[in-house]
Amino acid sequence: MIRFFNTMSGRVEPFEPLSAGAVKLYTCGPTVYDYQHIGNYRAYVFEDLLKRFLLFMGYKTSHVMNITDVDDKTIRGANLRGVALGEYTQKYQEAFFEDLRTLRILPADVYPRATEHIPEMVAIIRGLLEKGYAYRKEGSIYFSIAKFPAYGRLSKIRLDELKPGQRVEADEYEKESVHDFALWKQPKPGEPFWETEIGPGRPGWHIECSAMSSKYLGETFDIHCGGVDNIFPHHENEIAQSEAFTGKPFVRTWMHCHHLVVDGEKMSKSKGNQFTMSDLIGQGADPIDLRFLLLSTHYRKMLNFTSDVLAQAKASRRRLLDFLFELERGDLSPGRTNPVVSDLIGKARRGFVEGLADDLNISNSLSALFEFVREVNTLIASQKFGQGDAEACAAFLREVDSVLAIFPPKGLQEQALPPEIASKIEARQRARQQKDFKLADRLRQELIEEGIILEDTKDGLRWKRTKPSGRTNG
């Protein structure tokens, strides 16, 4: 049985999707006003672990992630740069999708853009006006939180000091300012706006997630994820808008991942401790080590990112990789199978699944795998282990890697590559990360001349040889 912590109830609860075998999942996506930092990717990797585990357990998933391409921050950025909003956000969208591929995050089924769903948002706002939950003030439209008694249930804010009728127009604000929030903002000089049946203007941030989640997943769906900083005001406001409009429960399970801090401090541009993926890759980090680090800390714990913990993650992942490569080398005596091996695999699989089924307790799942490595290594050392055993163990590791996604594709074993080729492949990946496509193309061409073809697949980079490996040496 799968159990998840539900922010709404404050408890770990059994998880059962609305329709058997299929999970409807909404995850708040990026605001594309800048490059995403590793704190953002912590949330996306957590959501990827959740989704991959559900798939592993045999569920189908429908996954929607919105792209916020109009809000206070994107408009400010476009105006500062003096370019159209769409042109400004395009670059950051592309960088985001590139990072997702690099981190082996499975793509969502739909990535709806806010600017492409204005009519859906307008329909909800009009409904909220008609039902008396929203009101007009000076050309804008606000949600009246006094009309929605359940307001504050998710974030557990205290409403005793609530002063009805006070308004906040900003998309993001602190818990101290619990106010009526903007659904629709009046046109302002220099800001993009839409002519609609509720008047000219542009949407607030929160309404887009209410509109786009219900369009693609229905009025009530299974899981809504985000970072803890989304709980208030963003998710609180989503609930108010959606439930006031539909009269139905909005989301069954709310899951939020905790912050990532760097060297014990909150990330900020001014402190210079806010890293993007390109920053880390430029410093020589392997993005899959970063993925392993992000997923190997339980999602409800604060993650303190330091160069030491990244090095530890690298070393732990290396242990699993070396073990897998040894199993896949294929040089053991053929045919022999040790009956203990299938018991060990069964025990490790149970430990792995039980850990993740317990509110994604990844530490227990990884412990089960490392215990498995130790036990199998003992068998190998005592020579009670044949080729058939190695294949069964390797197949098991490949199976759990559909959840972890930390191994290279089969056949891509780092030690099989001459070091100069491996470093050229790495340099080409780095160049792509840093958007130096000219250099990336040149390196790719050089690799082709040396008989290595690169393919970018949804599971990451693959390579294959076009010539026998000895030939380059003449």
The DSSP output letter for 18 is: S
116 versus 414: smaller Cβ distance to Zn ion: 116
241 versus 316: smaller Cβ distance to Zn ion: 241
209 versus 403: smaller Cβ distance to Zn ion: 209
Least distance in angstroms from the C-beta of 209 to Zn ion: 3
Q: For 207, phi and psi rounded to 5 degrees?
A: -65, -25
28 versus 394: smaller Cβ distance to Zn ion: 28
Least distance in angstroms from the C-beta of 116 to Zn ion: 16
28 versus 198: smaller Cβ distance to Zn ion: 28
246 versus 364: smaller Cβ distance to Zn ion: 246
108 versus 421: smaller Cβ distance to Zn ion: 108
236 versus 328: smaller Cβ distance to Zn ion: 236
Cα(122)–Cα(60) distance, integer angstroms: 31
Cα(427)–Cα(420) distance, integer angstroms: 10
Q: Is the dihedral of CA 398, 19, 67, 243 positive or negative?
A: negative
Cα(254)–Cα(270) distance, integer angstroms: 32
Least distance in angstroms from the C-beta of 28 to Zn ion: 3
Residue ranges of E strands in 276-334: 303-305
Least distance in angstroms from the C-beta of 235 to Zn ion: 7
Least distance in angstroms from the C-beta of 218 to Zn ion: 17
Residue ranges of E strands in 85-230: 134-137, 140-143, 167-168, 180-185, 202-203, 221-227
Q: State both tokens at 394.
A: 């390797």
Cα(239)–Cα(152) distance, integer angstroms: 10
28 versus 239: smaller Cβ distance to Zn ion: 28
Q: For 222, phi and psi rounded to 5 degrees?
A: -80, -60
- Burial annotation 219-253 (CB, 10 A radius, 16+ → b, else e): ebbbbbbbbbebbbbbbbbbbbbbbbbbeeebbbb
Least distance in angstroms from the C-beta of 114 to Zn ion: 10
Least distance in angstroms from the C-beta of 211 to Zn ion: 11
Least distance in angstroms from the C-beta of 6 to Zn ion: 18
Query: Is the CB of residue 309 less than 8 Å from the CB of residue 293?
Result: yes
Least distance in angstroms from the C-beta of 242 to Zn ion: 11
Cα(162)–Cα(148) distance, integer angstroms: 13
The DSSP output letter for 58 is: T
Peptide bond into 119 cis (omega under 30): no
Least distance in angstroms from the C-beta of 221 to Zn ion: 13
The enclosing H or E element of 36 equals none
**Closest by Cα among 220, 191, 198 to 134:** 198
239 versus 290: smaller Cβ distance to Zn ion: 239
> In degrees to the nearest 10, what's the CA dihedral of 171, 174, 176, 181?
10
Query: Is the CB of residue 316 less than 8 Å from the CB of residue 292?
Result: yes
Least distance in angstroms from the C-beta of 184 to Zn ion: 17
Q: State both tokens at 411.
A: 């056949």
Q: Which residues bind Zn ion (CB under 5 A)?
A: 28, 209
* Strands lying side by side in the sheet with 260-262: 265-266, 260-262, 303-305
99 versus 208: smaller Cβ distance to Zn ion: 208
209 versus 348: smaller Cβ distance to Zn ion: 209
Long-range contacts of 308-316 (CB under 8 A, 24+ apart): 310/285, 313/289, 314/286, 314/289, 316/292, 316/366, 316/370
Least distance in angstroms from the C-beta of 93 to Zn ion: 16
Q: Position of tokens 């036990």?
A: 375
